Structure 1
Amino acid sequence: MFETKKNKFSKGSLRFRHRLEYLIFSSLKRWGESASEKSLERGTLMLDILLFYLLRICRKIVKINLEFAFPNLTSIERKKIARENYRWFARFCIDVLHMDAWKDRTSEIIDFKNPEILEQALSEKKGVLLISGHFGNWEMIAPALAEKGYKLVMYVGRQTNPLTNQLQNSARASFGVETIEKGKKATLQMGRALAGNKIIAMLVDQNDNKTELFVNFFGKLASCSKGTAAFHVLRRSPVVLVTCPYVGNRLELNFQHIPFKLTGNQKKDTQEITQKITSALETVIRQYPEQYFWMHRRWRARPPQEPEKIY
């Protein structure tokens, strides 16, 4: 999840590293599944202290991102958001470890605020492009919807560790969530899913070093994938933004239909669709700024007119 420098490993050392990561992650998941509420709270507190004070993970990146996103706030106000951001992230991580414990009962912790928006989109029989970002508890969205009976497919990137990758996909499958991994077959698989009126869930706020598409995000150009726009133009599948912020001790699932008027100019339509999606996500993030993944180098890729590196 955190960005690290690429290291060169021999095949033997890489296999050992993968097995070690798998052992640690699977052990933590077993702990999380059976842990009591008090143990989870202590785990959250310890992880928060570890990340913020001891390891100081991504502190500089968070500071830079918040300066870009909230230039009108004082330094003290941004520091407060940054501190709350680590508390949120620690809570999110512990909740991910505990997620299997909520199997068959996600409705006990999640409130569906306006599911009629999703139902209306599905009634068009073109599938649904369900988009979100690294915000709130994004990992609970797909399991909660699948347990409500929705046919849902997650479009995900393949992790570098095949063992933890399989562990994550198996956990999703246990909730009834299918996965499509990025690759040569993904476009065909996604097309079939939409043709079957399934929901394709995807995160759309990652930095993309291979694209020439840039849109405004918190007042600064950010790179974006063309995927969502391409499928909407091709199949006219409705686009729905879903977010899952923490509200007190619960999670709220909120839906927002994002309409578009296509002009027939593919480049122009792609730009407008992607901008509207990004702006809608930004609006929600502004309501809960401490619940966004500011540790990500969101503005890492730069357009030709702004070549200067940020990080």
Structure 2
Amino acid sequence: MINFIKLLSKLPLFVLYGISDFCHFILCYIFPYRKKVIDQNLKNSFPEKSENELNKIRNRFYLYFTDLFIEFVKGYSMSKEQILSRVKIIGDEEVQKRISNKQPIILVAGHQGNWEWAIHRLAFTNYTSDIIYQKLNNKKFNDFTLQLRTKFPGILMMEKRESILLTKDRKDVPRAVCLLSDQAPQKPESAYWTSFMNQDTAFFTGMERFARDYNYPVFYIELVKIKRGQYEMRFELLADLPLSNISNGEIIERFARRLERSVNEFPEQYLWSHRRWKHKKPEQLKLKWN
């Protein structure tokens, strides 16, 4: 499978997008991938939309999803010039300023746009990036994904369970610590709960704890698909120092509100096939900040 992906990546993008179009047709009309999960997520997130509107979002999502996979494959053979021409960074001047002043920062995003190409694009900034990731169960595919994400210098992949120890060694290194923070937590009773996309939603507290423990400002990245094969990474300050002036949970709340705004604006570009709302809010929560 991995050798096939490597071979496939050598094809030009216009050919790969033709394959994506075919896969999109299959998903829409023959073998609809996770249709029940997607439909339920969309129905709960957009109660004001008609069934026809929701179906259109689902079908556009399928094309986004097949393009995302094709672009992941293409990433294996892409050059620096190709990455720079296809992923544009907007508004990271404040990030550059902080890091040039020896201040590490946190970059947080959701599963939208193309986060794989975003990692490649971060390799060509004037700062290094530590990417915290969840290890995949399939070792061969996990190793391949790590190889792909670190193909350019300037990217350090940090497995989630090891990131605390690694960060202690690098806590004063001026860099960007990057997280995707919209996954469903494994322990909902210890999560931060808020309304997100019209539903009670659990969020990991790790991003905010990380920021507070190391006194790092937090920036949000909106990952947006402008057109096929063209993306923007839009940076904005989410929480500035001193974080002691911000109440516990407020950083996560700001992230949830900002991501929600983006999902509403670009609904087909969110990962609706993920079982984001598999947990129900427990009657008794065990969240403690100290």
Q: TM-score, normalised by structure 1?
A: 0.84
> Structure 1's 264 and 243: CA in aligned 2 closer, same or farther, altered over 3 A?
closer
Instruction: State the match for 1:127 in structure 2.
Output: 104
Which residue identity lines up with residue 68 of structure 2 in the other structure? F
Q: Which runs of 5+ in 1 are unaligned?
A: 1-23, 307-311
Instruction: State the match for 2:133 in structure 1.
Output: 156
Distance 1:253 1:31 in 2: 26
C-alpha contact (below 8 Å) 1:143/1:172 kept by paired residues = yes
Matches within 5 A, 1:111-260: 111-123=88-100, 125-176=102-153, 177-183=155-161, 185-211=162-188, 212-213=190-191, 214-249=193-228, 250-259=230-239
Matches within 5 A, 1:280-299: 280-299=258-277
Q: Deviations over 1:226-251 (max 9, x none)?
A: 11111111122011111221102411
Q: Which runs of 5+ in 2 are unaligned?
A: 285-290
Instruction: State the match for 1:19 in structure 2.
Output: none
Instruction: State the match for 2:72 in structure 1.
Output: 96
> Structure 1's 37 and 179: CA in aligned 2 closer, same or farther, altered over 3 A?
closer
Distance 2:244 2:95 in 1: 25
Which residue identity lines up with residue 50 of structure 1 in the other structure? I
Q: TM-score, normalised by structure 2?
A: 0.89
SS at match of 2:80: coil
Distance 2:98 2:38 in 1: 36
Distance 2:279 2:101 in 1: 36
CA RMSD after TM alignment: 2.1
Greater shift in the superposed pair: 142-151 or 291-300 = 142-151
Deviation at 1:124, TM superposition (A): 5.3
SS at match of 2:200: strand
Q: Deviations over 1:229-281 (max 9, x none)?
A: 1111112201111122110241111111102674589xx51x22211111111
C-alpha contact (below 8 Å) 2:13/2:74 kept by paired residues = no
SS at match of 1:246: strand
C-alpha contact (below 8 Å) 1:103/1:175 kept by paired residues = no
Runs of 4+ in 1 over 4 A off after TM superposition: 260-265
- Give the percent of matched residue pairs that are identical in Structure 1 and Structure 2: 22
Aligned residues: 279
